Amino acid sequence: MRLRIVLVGFGNVGREFARLLLERKSELAKVHGLRADVVAILTGRHGSVERAGGIDLRRALRLADAGVSLETCGHAVHVSSVDYLRRVRADAVIEISPLRIASRQIAVDHIVAALSSGMHVITANYQRLRRLAREHGVGFRYEGTVMDGAPVFNLFQEALRGLRIQSFEGILNSTSNHILSKIEAGGSYEQGVASAREMGLLETDPSMDLDGWDAAVKACLLVNVLMGGRLRPEKVRREGISSLTSTRIEAARASGRRIKVIARGWREGRTVHASVSLESIPPDHPLFSVDGTSSSLVVRTDMLKELQIVERDPGLRQTAYAIYSDLLAIRDGRLIP
Amino acid sequence: MRLRIVLVGFGNVGREFARLLLERKSELAKVHGLRADVVAILTGRHGSVERAGGIDLRRALRLADAGVSLETCGHAVHVSSVDYLRRVRADAVIEISPLRIASRQIAVDHIVAALSSGMHVITANYQRLRRLAREHGVGFRYEGTVMDGAPVFNLFQEALRGLRIQSFEGILNSTSNHILSKIEAGGSYEQGVASAREMGLLETDPSMDLDGWDAAVKACLLVNVLMGGRLRPEKVRREGISSLTSTRIEAARASGRRIKVIARGWREGRTVHASVSLESIPPDHPLFSVDGTSSSLVVRTDMLKELQIVERDPGLRQTAYAIYSDLLAIRDGRLIP
């Protein structure tokens, strides 16, 4: 099977995914019978380029790393990204452009254009466009949206069939968790934020991380996809580390506890709820030992009581792998988790 | 789809699975389009019975719980279980008869007979008969063999495509772990063993748990299925809690550590290895907080660094769910993990 892929966004994750495709090219062909050709790359800062026979990814990586335009990799694309996606001949669109808090997300326009044109979509951003994908009979997968490459949707939507999720709690925003670990190690809040910025962990708009937006979006996605909810992040009770006081940190430390940003989802009768809050948790809490950029999700179901997954010290490769595993899922006909 | 099922074994897990089938009958029909009829139950202690139209499971449960023969549920089966499986007209065999350490396992004979007759097999015992199943184009699934209903094979064989496992470490024998927790709480080794026996945790042959056999069998299964190994439990370096000394427990306690039975698998060049050993682990070890009958597996892969799954306080329902999820997988055509 040949999949002609359009990459929308060529930042850290997009480049890591390109490196992964190069590295595993022969494995994809031999083991999975898949030839994955990137036929276009659309970016905001490096221009947009297409090449029907497949773009030389090594060259694209060199150009992007050097901070110059990609357009010498093929033919420059001069129409808008949305218009381009409406007319391109390709099989799958990988939408990984940067996240914004805006009422109108360009990423959504990309996804709508791609799905409506009958192309599979893989994203590591947060969207809920499954119905549209189903109507068009194409794939829409988004494993990388929560906990990077750790299997969340793969696990609870596909592997664990026939069970009902009652509630979950998790540490889902690794930036906040990293900053909290820095503060516990003796740093100030400002030093923690600076360290997160240095490591490239902070979203372009720091409020996404520090005010709990990112965790709220993820909690909604989990509640909506896994528990049949219809929540929107704006409606979720939300507390981020920007509201943390040093008194509260000291009080937690003195009693052997730790402050964590906990995202929750739960049922009350027939409705589902979500929240993001700063909590002081004791040492026997399942999330107590989740440090630094690690993340974890504890899920309670009718069948399995409590199941926890922990992803330790993820890097770019982990998110790139989420996209890679989605690509293999589409190849296998597992279109929508 | 109708699946005619033969249950081999009707002990604790078999009965919990029967309760689960009764409880979810309408969900299976409506959501999954599956009618699961148990057409025969073969047991060592309660006799064997068949009924082509489906056995009344409520009645079978009442009889088994009362400790009397099941034969009034239908027609008594008088041939041996293996002979019966060679000639029965059914679609799937669920093999959950008790585990023995014997050179010749009757469970293997059951599975061979079923697979050779073209029936799918689900087991919560440990076997490696995937090649036979593949040759006959039928399902062979065994999610319940390791960590009860927590997804191990579902996760690493099916959900997480395209990655390579480098090593794992886990607490896989809940009986030993329960006894260790009792000892830490101030009990003696004998009291711990007695408590495990009371809770029905101890295998019929206690050496399976106490000498590390159960963990060794599970480590081999993981190494063989997930890492392409060909190990046998007898060849695995193995240490169980029967060799634990009070000096060693005291030394661990004094240094803030805990003694755990750790099962490992790893690669060395092109070969794979496994071991089961008593280890003294520090508080920052990922398995430190796994208490009582809980179990956990930490897996390192080329793609995901370290991914951990934790199953807390599992009960019979968890193992019954493993079988239930295997049934749904076979319904979906996912035949062999």
pLDDT tens-digit map of B15-36: 989 999 999 899 889 988 899 9
Mutate to test the interface with A, among B153, B161, B174, B293 (most CBs of A within 10 A): B161
The DSSP bridge partners found for residue A92 are A5, A120
More confident residue, A109 or B37: B37
pLDDT class of A104 with cuts at 50, 70, 90: low
Catalytic site includes residue B218: yes
- Predicted confidence band of residue B103 (pLDDT cuts 50, 70, 90): very low
Q: CB contact, 8 Å: A304 with chain B?
A: yes
Q: What ipTM was assigned to the predicted interfaces of this complex?
A: 0.79
CA B19 to chain centre: 18
Per the CB < 8 A criterion, the answer to whether B124 and B9 are in contact is no
Q: What pLDDT is stored for residue B307 in this prediction?
A: 94
Is some CB atom of chain B closer than 8 A to the CB atom of A113?
Answer: no
Contact of B309 with B130, CB cutoff 8 Å? no
Q: Where are the beta strands (DSSP E) in A208-304?
A: 237-238, 258-268, 271-281, 295-301
- Tell me the C-alpha distance between A37 and A27, whole Å: 14
Question: Could you tell me whether strands A258-268 and B258-268 are parallel, antiparallel, or unpaired per DSSP bridges?
Answer: unpaired
| Set of chain B residues whose Cβ sits within 8 Å of the Cβ of A325 | 159-163
Is residue A126 very low, low, confident or very high in pLDDT (cuts 50, 70, 90)?
low
pLDDT of residue A102: 47
Distant-in-sequence, close-in-space partners of B268: CB < 8 Å, separation ≥ 6: none
Nearest to B307 among A309, A317, A332 (CB): A309
Please report the pLDDT score of residue B99 as a whole number: 56
Distance CA(B80)–CA(B44), nearest Å, equals 10
Bridge pairing between strands B305-312 and A75-76: unpaired
Among B306, B308, B313, whose Cβ lies nearest the Cβ of A305?
B313
For the cut 80, the answer to whether the pLDDT of residue A99 exceeds it is no
Is the Cβ of B23 closer than 8 Å to some Cβ of chain A? no
Enumerate helices (H) and strands (E) in chain B, giving the number of each: 13, 13
% of residues, chain B, pLDDT over 70? 96
Q: Could you report the per-residue pLDDT of A141-178, keeping only the tens digit for each?
A: 888 888 988 889 888 888 888 889 999 999 999 999 99
Q: Select the residue of B150, B318, B329 nearest A161 (Cβ to Cβ).
A: B329
